Amino acid sequence: MSTMLEVKGLTHSYAEKKHAHVAVADLGFTVEAGQLACIVGPSGCGKSTLLRCIAGLIKPTGGSVRLHDDEVDGVPEDLAVVFQDYSRSLFPWLSVRQNVEFPLRWRGLDRAERRARAKEALGWVGLSGVDDKFPWQLSGGMQQRVSIARALASRPALLLMDEPFASVDAQTRFELEDLLRRVQRELGSTVLVVTHDIDESVYLGDRVLVLSKSPASIVADLPVGLPAERDQITTRESAEFVSLRGEVARLLHGGTPGESAEELAGRDLAEAEAAEEHAGTRAKETL
């Protein structure tokens, strides 16, 4: 396998009035071609900042991002992004087919090729036959499928997904997770999904990268040993799934790799006791 994405020493600080706010600190990982990697992190830790740096939407203040060995400097042509909010990423005045074809215009594809690519991509996501409808005539799940088809139609080297299923109901979310895994395997795509949902990261991923609290850095890089064929019921009940989701939850809660729940609970208790003692001492000092 060849390396598709290499993130090295990535740091990003937002300039604030008096001091800089560090959102991502010295973060590094690689994603191999054909892999589906998930990044999971606590709320506000810097996930979107990381994703924007990888997509070339913002220039990191330190470190580098390389896509198949080319330094990312601006949005790479062969990268596609699927955002959480499908209602804002699809054009309501364009039909489904025109939405999928839209980015292909900038790649210089002629009309016949654009149409063929859109038809093919809509087939991949199970939406053949709705080409002439408008996004607002479709359910939320179908609209997100259109966004996925649009991203895949350009045959990107890397597909980035930012909380892609966070805006749909639980049943649709399961369907879209299965759809993504099926299409990714059929096409051999390289996909990086950013999510805050622990179960989703384990169910979807070949790997789960766990981020620390802000500023984001990598706490653990966990291989997912689940079978390639996954099922929403049996996979989620399997011992491997339950154990891995427990490990990710512990790491997100501040544990270290391999630390048991009892050790973490013990450490939490010791920290709480120390904080209580400190507060008591301060209160006495004040009196």
Ligand X SMILES: Nc1ncnc2c1ncn2[C@@H]1O[C@H](COP(=O)(O)OP(=O)(O)OP(=O)(O)O)[C@@H](O)[C@H]1O
Q: Could you tell me which stretch among 28-36, 37-45, 93-101, 117-125 binds ligand X (CB under 6 A)?
A: 37-45
Binding residue (CB under 6 A) for ligand X from 1, 18, 19, 43: 43
49 counts as binding ligand X under rule CB under 6 A: yes
Count Cβ atoms within 10 A of the Cβ of residue 234 and give its class: 0-12 exposed, 13-18 middle, 19 or more buried: exposed
Q: Measured from the CB of residue 132, what is the shortest distance to ligand X in angstroms? A: 35
Which residue, 45 or 149, is less far from ligand X as judged by CB? 45
Do residues 218 and 47 touch, judged by C-beta distance below 8 A?
no
Considering the complex, state which of residue 36 and residue 45 has its C-beta at the smaller distance from ligand X. Answer: 45
Q: Are 101 and 117 in contact (CB under 8 A)?
A: yes
Element spanning 160, H or E: strand 158-162
Residue 193 and residue 161 in contact, taking contact as beta carbons nearer than 8 Å: yes
Q: Rounded CA gap, 275 and 22, in Å?
A: 26
User: At its nearest, how many Å lie between ligand X and the CB of residue 57?
Assistant: 11
Considering the rule CB under 6 A, would residue 14 count as an interface residue with ligand X? Answer: yes
- Judge whether 208 and 247 are in contact, CB under 8 Å: no
If one asks whether residue 245 binds ligand X (CB under 6 A), the answer comes out as no
Is the distance from CB of 238 to CB of 277 less than 8 angstroms?
Answer: no
By CB under 6 A, tell whether 99 contacts ligand X.
no
Complex with ligand X: residue 41 or 156, whichever CB lies closer: 41
From 251, 182, 159, select the one nearest 212 (Cα to Cα).
Answer: 251
From residue 162 to residue 201, what is the string marking binding to ligand X with x (rule CB under 6 A)?
A: ----------------------------------x-----
Q: Compute the least distance from the CB of residue 42 to ligand X, in Å.
A: 7
2 scored as a contact of ligand X (CB under 6 A)? no
Task: Based on the shown chain and the rule CB under 6 A, indicate whether residue 250 belongs to the binding site for ligand X.
Answer: no
User: Strands of 191-195's sheet, edge to edge?
Assistant: 79-82, 158-162, 191-195, 36-40, 207-211, 218-223
Q: Considering CB under 6 A, how many residues would be counted as binding ligand X? A: 13
Candidates 37, 46, 65, 224; binder of ligand X (CB under 6 A) is 46
Footprint on this chain of ligand X (rule: CB under 6 A) = 14, 21, 23, 41, 43-49, 196, 214
